[in-house]
Structure 1
């Protein structure tokens, strides 16, 4: 041996029996039981010592145990035949006992209760037929052996049920883990969607307002440079600065919530229908607003506010100097809040790439069980948005009646 390899070879851990594959384990088991049976055959037990045929039968009946897990019924049939022949020749009757108990245990642990009971009854019947010729002594021995047979079958059945229960418990745990992972992924997806909606509503509306206010300032500067209305220019610039400050504060609050999910949400709830007046005043367009209805649940009011905000943003961005009509009202017969926004410009049919405004409106409507229809007007130029928002959920309870923020919205 190479002296360099000696320490490495010595340091390798010996392979344990559990690390062997089942076939090798059963081969070692069969060999061990054969040695035990041989020792019993020449020392204790009733019957005569085996001759050449007896040794062949005794050692041969242990060979099928190598495949006991792969084909338990076949192994049982072969071993019963060999054991019956061995006993009929009146060789040592105690020698094959251990091997027969192992195969009965294997049959019980690998099969159902009905099959196990049938095989047990068949084995006991066969044993009685073999022992009946010995008279009362044979009956007494039969009762003893029957006790061992029943014990092995019950033990095998118990182990089988225990394994099945353990496997079922593992499967339930894995299924619960998959459910938790799917729920976590779903919540992450919903949170990402909510963040996308919040940031879109915040940034899109703010950028649109800044664009409108900048256009006003530019118009004042270009209208009559010699008679410059400094007050109007200063007001437009102040409005831009105030819009930027407000947006910056809201964005900072949103980012703080995202960076530390465990921190309390310091964002203000959406104003709902009560905030529509201020919303249309800052829209940068001529808006006719009609609001009818009181007692709207906070969640429904927040959804309506966002839908109107996005509709105004789209109209100002794509519709040019469009005039808008906004009607919001509660329809008691339908137990729903209707939102209708119409402009006379080009509406949402802009030339730029499609955005996420309409998608966000539909998602907000679905969050309270409602729907949104949006598209070009059929009676002339412009764009219209129509939303139907139920005031109650399917269980009959009002949406968002609990305290705190509704729908996870950002003000």
Structure 2
């Protein structure tokens, strides 16, 4: 029991110290229950004054008038934080006749010191200095008239008044300093929370883009290949082309394997720790050594395909029934830019196959470098007119492509082609944009 009591006492001491420091650091004008606390403090100071008056000392012992003036001097202290100057004037109005009647000078000193301290701790330096001049002047004059030989005593009183005022100023600036530290800490915490929310939002959008690119492209190819297989089965049942059906089913199976492997890689990136992702992943495009898509079949995972993967992408478009003309004249493309270009071409090709509206669809894909940027152009001659892109319910494909372009500092435009069909153009800078510092 004794040991437990000692441990509890040791635990309570830091809490008590924290409460004391919290009370010291708290702004007096906004402290909770300040009127009640000031009333309790005024009573305590009045009790101290009565004790000092009863112990005797210099001067006349207070009579009825003296006790009345002495106790009345403590009443304004109840409002000392709400009206500090008014409280000081109220104390002075009672202390001045008390001192003039040559009563014991010690009892009203605590109330006077508390009133002066409150004025200095709650007001500006200018107000404090003016208050000091207003108090020191009459005090020095009155003391000189009552006691012409008490120059040393007058100097001592002036020194105490100045010391109290400077202590109040020091406490006020200390509280302002602590408040500024707390404000900066709160602002920094708010900034960190905002940055964390921003990073979570960016990561969620990146995952949404990756999953959209994967699912939309794979489902579109599977849908087209399934339609081809169904057409072969129903076109002429008596002369069934088994090789064509087998080829279509093999294409569907290959697309499923590729989609499954790419989805597995994406999930592995999401489960990876922050160090691995930060070391190898680009936050804008998901390009990196540990992230990205597959470039081969199941079990052949690698970095996210870039410019080199466009040939395979064009082949998947040809398997889906479109005539894809690919032209690439670009070298030394950064991985992040190449990844963004790959995803833009993938989405544009997927939508061209989905919304082309004709069997002999031709899609022309061109990439070249000019003016420090990688230029991307995907144009089809379909009759769909961009259906599903600009009919009021565009889905997420166009949004995702624009986000891909913006993630590397580029721009993207999409709309009807000059003659027919639909066209997507993008300009992706080969180097990150230079930030100009101001000031």
Q: Which range, TM-score by smaller chain?
A: 0.7 to 0.9
Per-residue Cα deviation, 1:230-285 (whole angstroms, up to 9, x for no partner):
22221211111111111112212222333454484543322211111111111121
Matches within 5 A, 1:107-256: 107-135=119-147, 137-256=149-268
Separation (CA, whole Å) in 2 of partners of 1:337 and 1:257: 27
Instruction: Return closer, same or farther for 1:112/1:179 CA change in 2, 3 Å cut-off.
Output: same
Q: Is the 8 A contact 1:216 1:236 kept in 2?
A: yes
Structure 2: gaps spanning 5 or more residues: 1-18, 24-30, 278-289, 292-301
The answer to whether residue 333 in structure 2 is matched with residue 293 in structure 1 is no
Q: Is the 8 A contact 1:347 1:384 kept in 2?
A: no
Which residue does the alignment assign to 1:349? 387
**Structure 2 residue matching 1:179: 3-state secondary structure:** helix
Instruction: Return closer, same or farther for 1:103/1:352 CA change in 2, 3 Å cut-off.
Output: closer
Q: After the TM superposition, which parts of structure 1 deviate over 6 Å for at least 4 consecutive aligned residues?
A: 16-20
How far 1:118 sits from its partner (Å)?
A: 2.3
Separation (CA, whole Å) in 2 of partners of 1:75 and 1:57: 15
Separation (CA, whole Å) in 1 of partners of 2:168 and 2:392: 74
Which residue does the alignment assign to 1:282? 316
Q: Is the 8 A contact 1:338 1:389 kept in 2?
A: yes
The answer to whether residue 72 in structure 2 is matched with residue 60 in structure 1 is yes
**Structure 1 residue matching 2:351: 3-state secondary structure:** helix
Matches within 5 A, 1:46-85: 46-85=58-97
Aligned match of 2:421 in 362, 366, 382? 382
How far 1:136 sits from its partner (Å)?
A: 5.3
Instruction: Return closer, same or farther for 1:60/1:352 CA change in 2, 3 Å cut-off.
Output: closer
Aligned match of 1:366 in 406, 428, 432? 406
How far 1:216 sits from its partner (Å)?
A: 2.4
**Structure 1 residue matching 2:333: 3-state secondary structure:** coil
Aligned match of 2:306 in 259, 272, 287? 272
Separation (CA, whole Å) in 1 of partners of 2:250 and 2:188: 57
Shifted more, 118-127 versus 94-103: the winner is 118-127
How far 1:93 sits from its partner (Å)?
A: 1.4
TM-score if structure 2 supplies the norm length? 0.81
**Structure 2 residue matching 1:282: 3-state secondary structure:** helix
Instruction: Return closer, same or farther for 1:136/1:175 CA change in 2, 3 Å cut-off.
Output: same
Separation (CA, whole Å) in 2 of partners of 1:225 and 1:352: 41
